[in-house]
Structure 1
Amino acid sequence: MEKRIITLCYRKIIDGASTKPWDKAVFEDSYLEFKIQAQLMAQGSTYTTYGELLAKVPHAAKLSGMVTPAVISYVQQLNETVPDILNNLGRRFLQFKNFQFELINSSITDKARHQVAVNFYTEPLVWHDSIQNFMLVSDAAAVVEDGEEIHTNLFEIQPYVNIHSLKIIK
């Protein structure tokens, strides 16, 4: 029997309109760090936006990585549980080990333009089935003997959730 092992990526976009306390904290601290790093990088120039820096300043692509330390403690607060994605019982269930912080847009002079994403990469899952817009998955690390039950989670596929990788085992 074929077994489909998947890793999901959930891209959580955060901007000035975000209302959840965790999102607001990530927004504020990432903006502060962006502003510091971008001002250092733009010294002696008139560039104020992330886009201008990317287009005109060497090594500006490193800004996302330079801002990442400002959000690490917030990601650690999640205890390796992906936020916002709930199973059909209303519980968070997706676990992650890896994440990637990403600057989408920003401006040294206009905080309202600041927009970031945190990409969460889940632990491997077994993808059992799809039922309309729902996925039935289980923990790929679970060892199951023939005929033994396995715990599953049914969840609705939401915007910004993507199958990042797929491995088929025959």
Structure 2
Amino acid sequence: MPKKVIILCYRKIIDSTTTNPWDKFIYEDSFAEFKMQSQFYNQEEQYNTFAELILNVPGSEKLHFLVSAAITGYLRQLNGIIPDILDNLGRRFLAFENFKFEIINSDINNIEKHKVAINFFSKPLVWHDTVDNHLLVSQFTETAQDEVFTNLFQIQPFVSIHSIKTLG
């Protein structure tokens, strides 16, 4: 029987309304790094916002990558597990391999306008079934197994199937 192997994407948006301490560290440190890194692209101090820099300064799209350096230590604290996504037993279970940091909005003069996203890409999962609004998945392995441990979790906002591959 063919298996469907999927990779999920969870988009975690962090802004001034965040209350979680880990999120606050990401928020504050990415803002400080944005202010510092944007100076290179704004040497004449003509622009205040990220959008103005992107529209007017060639190469400023590199700020996504440059600012991401400020948060990589916090991502290591997650030990490879995507935050906020719980299975139906209340456990964090979804491992990630890659992430992409994104500045959504920012203003060097107003931290309240700072908004970022971290897109987490899961390790490959076998998609066994869909039960109502829940996915039944297991970790993908190359070796055949008689029994696999599964996780059942509810599909929620900001989680989507990033890619799908049919095997066998």
Offset of 1:150 from its aligned partner? Answer: 1.2
Letter of the structure 2 residue corresponding to residue 90 of structure 1: G
Which residue does 2:134 correspond to in 1? 134
TM-score after normalising by structure 2: 0.97
With over 3 angstroms needed to count, the CA separation of the structure-2 counterparts of 1:19 and 1:142, relative to structure 1, is farther
What is the aligned-residue RMSD (CA, Å)? 1.0
Partner SS for 2:118: strand
- State the percentage of identical aligned residues: 52
Offset of 1:8 from its aligned partner? Answer: 0.4
TM-score after normalising by structure 1: 0.96
Which residue does 2:167 correspond to in 1? 169
Paired residue total? 168
Which residue does 2:67 correspond to in 1? 67
Extract unaligned runs of 5+ from structure 1. none
Which residue does 2:33 correspond to in 1? 33
Offset of 1:142 from its aligned partner? Answer: 6.5
Answer with 80-89 or 31-40: which moved more.
31-40
Letter of the structure 2 residue corresponding to residue 94 of structure 1: L
2:157 corresponds, among 152, 156, 159, to 159
Offset of 1:110 from its aligned partner? Answer: 1.0
Letter of the structure 1 residue corresponding to residue 137 of structure 2: V
Alpha-carbon separation, structure 2, partners of 1:105 and 1:130: 36
Extract unaligned runs of 5+ from structure 2. none
Which runs of structure 2 are paired with 1:113-124 in the superposition (5 Å)? 113-124=113-124
Partner SS for 1:93: coil
Which residue does 1:103 correspond to in 2? 103
Alpha-carbon separation, structure 2, partners of 1:64 and 1:11: 15
Letter of the structure 2 residue corresponding to residue 169 of structure 1: L
Runs of 4+ off more than 2 Å:
142-145
Offset of 1:78 from its aligned partner? Answer: 0.2
